[in-house]
Amino acid sequence: VNNLNEHTGALIRKLESTFVLSDSERAVLTRLPMSLAQLRRDQDIVRDGDRPTRSCVLLEGFAFRYKTTAKGERQILSFHIPGEIPDLQSLHIHKMDHSLAALTPCKVGFVEHEEIQRLVESFPRIGAALWRETLIDAAIFRQWMLGLGRKDAAPRVAHLLCEMFDRMNAVGLAKGDSCPLPITQAELADALGLSGVHINRTLQELRRQGLIALSKGSLTIKDQTALRTLGDYDPAYLHQEPWKAA
Amino acid sequence: VNNLNEHTGALIRKLESTFVLSDSERAVLTRLPMSLAQLRRDQDIVRDGDRPTRSCVLLEGFAFRYKTTAKGERQILSFHIPGEIPDLQSLHIHKMDHSLAALTPCKVGFVEHEEIQRLVESFPRIGAALWRETLIDAAIFRQWMLGLGRKDAAPRVAHLLCEMFDRMNAVGLAKGDSCPLPITQAELADALGLSGVHINRTLQELRRQGLIALSKGSLTIKDQTALRTLGDYDPAYLHQEPWKAA
DNA sequence: CGGCGATTTGATAATGGTCAAGTGCCGTGG
DNA sequence: CCACGGCACTTGACCATTATCAAATCGCCG
């Protein structure tokens, strides 16, 4: 518990992207006790089977959750951007059923479950907002399932790129039609249930059609309409509209 | 709001499968106001895009959630058994991002969101239990994603059958190594991201190997060990152990 | 008996996987 | 400054799992 505030900016920005916080709510969040850590790329934060007593707020950088098959194949379940709490579910589900790792070097804050419990008891609206975040998480899982189960490679890739751009945009991390997206083709493959080779060819096709540019960790959406149509993308499932005043 | 109790038995049984209720908690749940309805097979309960003001408790029969692709392909996202609240998420996520339908004729109780809100405010432990249920929902989505993205047909089918059996068993609806499973091969296909033809051939193979029997809406697991191994199944993600005393 | 939905079967095609080798990029150390 | 090493990306050839299409059978209910 080694900080005071200024670290929670990403968290507050994220919550405020769908929620209007009152002053007292913002104040208590700013002072939320967390212990900071800096993580290397690819470092596990929590592992499948762990029983963590704290959750992890992503302050800078990107993370992802994944599971592994008996024969060692990896499925990436979600990508996480600054301000998110990727393992909030461990608050009520005590044993991890998947792992969480750093996609890039990143800065995180660990908050004890006890602390979160106190927070949601004293500030029920924050409790509801956090519950809501976990529900949006689930909505994203459902959307990915539709892709994994029923879409061809190109629409799958297109959809993911649309989603990541919108999520980055919602927390102010996109500029114009570009945003950081430091994801490897192998990671894309593991997220979309495809092989690295096929991801490569699909990306080339999207580039050839002038829909996107993606290189050196940066994504540019060159033809949003076409990309959304191809990916059958409708951002409604992200439930991003600010919705309830303080 | 046309009933008193005896209808909520399935709900209570479900909650008690992972949670020890106090007497007052059980009492308030028993009296939970809900309006009953009887639904036909395949009838939509709520639709993608709706903004429901109530959630649906499944009292008898089976339900499923699904999404549809632009070209009309269906992905089934989850199956639901008696006692579950398949659209509880609409409490905090106001617009449906998928549909919910009756897999078999079924009896449901609709509970107004207002009512649930009152319930979780007065009984925070029930609130936590419900939050937990939505998190387990998400855990099941994650497990399905691993299958959709990274497993071949046979393991996918095997895994689903293991899961459905364990969930039925947890609420007392299995007898020995059998349980009701009134699911069509086409529905299995849409849940597992495969074609109906391929599901048919895969089921035949599982039967030929003596792992299962599945017909007339009833599943029998004839070799649990082999089926679990094949499906790479570990029930930990269902988080079924009763865990916190009242 | 008729009819309809569910299941089964066979033949053929396609999307995407695997394997293997090569290229490009970038940071490190001589 | 340049060679080296490693990792991500790219390419080509071949293969496999699964989709598609079409038709036949089964089972149950009226």
| DSSP reduced 3-state for A125 | helix
Q: What is the mean pLDDT of each run of 10 residues along chain A (246 residues)?
A: 64 88 93 94 96 96 96 96 96 97 96 96 94 97 98 98 96 94 97 98 97 95 97 95 51
> What are the counts of helices (DSSP H) followed by strands (DSSP E) for chain B?
8, 10
**B60 vs A: CB within 8 A:** no
Strand pairing report for A99-102 and A44-46:
antiparallel
pLDDT for the residue numbered A8: 85
**B92 vs A: CB within 8 A:** yes
CA of A197 to C1' of C21 (A): 14
Q: Is the pLDDT of residue B246 over 80?
A: no
* Nearest-neighbour CA in chain B from A220: distance (Å): 25
Using one digit for the tens of pLDDT, what is the confidence trace for B49-65?
999 999 999 999 999 99
Using one digit for the tens of pLDDT, what is the confidence trace for B9-43?
899 999 998 889 999 999 999 999 999 999 999 99
φ, ψ of residue B62 in degrees (nearest 5): -120, 150
Contact A145 B150 (CB under 8 A): no
pLDDT for the residue numbered B242: 61
Both structure tokens of A117: 């419990």
CA of B106 to C1' of C1 (A): 32
**A230 vs B: CB within 8 A:** no
**A141 vs B: CB within 8 A:** yes
What sign for the dihedral angle of Cα A4, A9, A10, A14? positive
**Residue-level length of chain B:** 246
Residue A200, classified by CB atoms within 10 Å of its CB into exposed (0-12), middle (13-18) or buried (19+), is middle
- Specify whether the CB–CB gap between A47 and A90 falls below 8 A: no
Contact A89 B138 (CB under 8 A): yes
Q: Which residue has the tokens 């951002």?
A: A235
Q: Which of B97, B131, B232 sits opposite A131 (nearest CB)?
A: B131
Nucleotides of C under 7 A from a protein CB: 6-11, 15-20, 26
| DSSP reduced 3-state for A4 | coil
- Single-letter amino acid, residue A245: A
Q: Is the pLDDT of residue B5 over 80?
A: no
Report residues 187-216 of A contacting strand D, contact meaning Cβ closer than 7 Å: 196-197, 200-201, 203-204
d(CA A18, CA B82): 33
d(CA A61, CA A81): 7
- Specify whether the CB–CB gap between A108 and A39 falls below 8 A: yes
- Specify whether the CB–CB gap between A147 and A156 falls below 8 A: yes
Contact B192 A121 (CB under 8 A): no
d(CA B159, CA B58): 24
Nearest C-alpha in A relative to B75: A146
Query: In the predicted model, what is the mean pLDDT of chain B?
Result: 93
d(CA A68, CA A64): 13
Q: How confident is the model at residue B222 (pLDDT cuts 50, 70, 90)?
A: very high
Closest-CA residue to A77 (of A100, A52, A61, A54): A100
d(CA A165, CA A180): 9
Q: Which residue has the tokens 């800078």?
A: A60
Using one digit for the tens of pLDDT, what is the confidence trace for B120-140?
999 999 999 999 999 999 999
| C-beta atoms surrounding A43 within 10 Å | 13
- Specify the nucleotide whose C1' lies closest to residue B152 (CA): D17
d(CA B171, CA B238): 13
Q: How far is CA A162 from CA A117, A169, A220, in A?
A: 34, 11, 10
Using one digit for the tens of pLDDT, what is the confidence trace for B75-101?
999 999 999 999 999 999 999 999 999
Q: How far is CA B82 from CA A33, A48, B85, in A?
A: 41, 29, 9
φ, ψ of residue B109 in degrees (nearest 5): -120, 130
pLDDT for the residue numbered A242: 61
pTM across the whole model:
0.94
CA of A40 to C1' of C30 (A): 28
pLDDT for the residue numbered A181: 97
